Amino acid sequence: MQDQKIDNQLNMALETPENVRRQSSSLNTGYDEENDTWEVIIRYHGSLDNLSEMGIRITPLINGYAILYLNQNLIDRVSEFPEIEYIEKPRELYFETAQGKAASCFNALPSAASGALGGRGIIIAAIDSGVDYMHPEFRNEDGSTRILYLWDQSIQGAPPDGYFAGTEYDSSEINRAILENDMTIVPSVDISGHGTHVLGIAAGSLTGCAPQADIIVVKLATPTTTADLMQAVNYAIDKAVLLNMPIAVNISFGNSYGSHSGNSLLETFIDGVAGVGSSTICIGTGNEGASARHFVGRLGREIVVAEMAVYEYTPSFSVQIWKNYYDTFDVSLRTPEGDVIAINPDASQTSQIDTENGVLLVYYGQPTPYSELQEIYIEFIPKGIYFKNGIWQFIFEPRDIRTGEINMWLPAGASINTDTSFLVPNPNVTITIPATSVRAISVGAYNSNTMQAADFSGRGYIYGNVTKPEIVAPGVDIMSARSEGGYESRTGTSMATPFVTGAAALLMQWGIVEGNDDYLYGQKLKAYLIRGAKPLPGIEVYPDSWVGYGALCVRDSFPRA
According to the model, what pLDDT value does residue 312 have?
85
pLDDT band at 29 (very low <50, low <70, confident <90, very high): very high
According to the model, what pLDDT value does residue 189 have?
97
Helix, strand, coil abundance in the chain, percent, nearest 5: 20, 30, 45
How high does pLDDT run on average in the chain? 93
According to the model, what pLDDT value does residue 1 have?
46
pLDDT tens-digit readout, 53-104 = 999 999 999 999 999 999 999 999 999 999 999 999 999 887 755 556 777 8
The sign of the dihedral angle between the CA atoms of 124, 130, 133, 136 is negative
Q: Which comes out higher in pLDDT, residue 417 or 445?
A: 445
According to the model, what pLDDT value does residue 220 have?
96
pLDDT band at 187 (very low <50, low <70, confident <90, very high): very high
What's 416's DSSP letter?
S
Which of 147-156, 275-284, 354-363 is least confident? 354-363
According to the model, what pLDDT value does residue 97 have?
55
Pairing of strands 373-382, 441-447: unpaired
User: Alpha-carbon distance 173 to 357, whole Å?
Assistant: 54
* Angle (deg, nearest 10), helices 265-273 and 226-243: 10
Nearest CA among 73, 43, 80, 33 for reference residue 56? 73
According to the model, what pLDDT value does residue 24 have?
85
Q: Which comes out higher in pLDDT, residue 350 or 268?
A: 268
What's 33's DSSP letter?
T
Which of 243-252, 310-319, 412-421, 537-546 is least confident? 412-421
**CA distances for 548 relative to 149, 290, 471, 495, angstroms:** 34, 17, 5, 17
Residue 274 C-alpha from the chain's centroid: 15
Which string of DSSP letters, residue by residue, matches 512-539?
IITTS-TT-SHHHHHHHHHHH-B--TT-
The yes-or-no verdict on residue 112 having pLDDT over 70 is: no
E strand spans, 233-327:
247-251, 253-254, 279-284, 294-298, 304-310, 317-324
pLDDT band at 449 (very low <50, low <70, confident <90, very high): very high
State what percent of residues in the chain have pLDDT above 70: 96
Which of 97-106, 476-485, 549-558 is least confident? 97-106
E strand spans, 62-206:
65-71, 84-88, 94-95, 111-112, 115-116, 123-128, 147-152, 167-170
State what percent of residues in the chain have pLDDT above 90: 81
User: Alpha-carbon distance 39 to 57, whole Å?
Assistant: 10
Element (H, E) at 32: strand 31-32
Asked whether the beta carbons of 84 and 47 are under 8 A apart, the reply is: no
Over residues 176-180, the mean pLDDT reads 98
Which string of DSSP letters, residue by residue, matches 217-257?
EEE--SS-BHHHHHHHHHHHHHHHHHHT--EEEEE-EEB--
Asked whether the beta carbons of 472 and 551 are under 8 A apart, the reply is: yes
CB atoms within 10 A of CB 370: 19
pLDDT tens-digit readout, 267-277 = 999 999 999 99
The yes-or-no verdict on residue 348 having pLDDT over 60 is: no
Domains of the chain (ranges; CATH) run: 8-91 (3.30.70.2980), 95-289+432-557 (3.40.50.200), 294-422 (2.60.120.1290)
Over residues 180-189, the mean pLDDT reads 98
The yes-or-no verdict on residue 413 having pLDDT over 90 is: no
According to the model, what pLDDT value does residue 102 have?
74
pTM value? 0.93
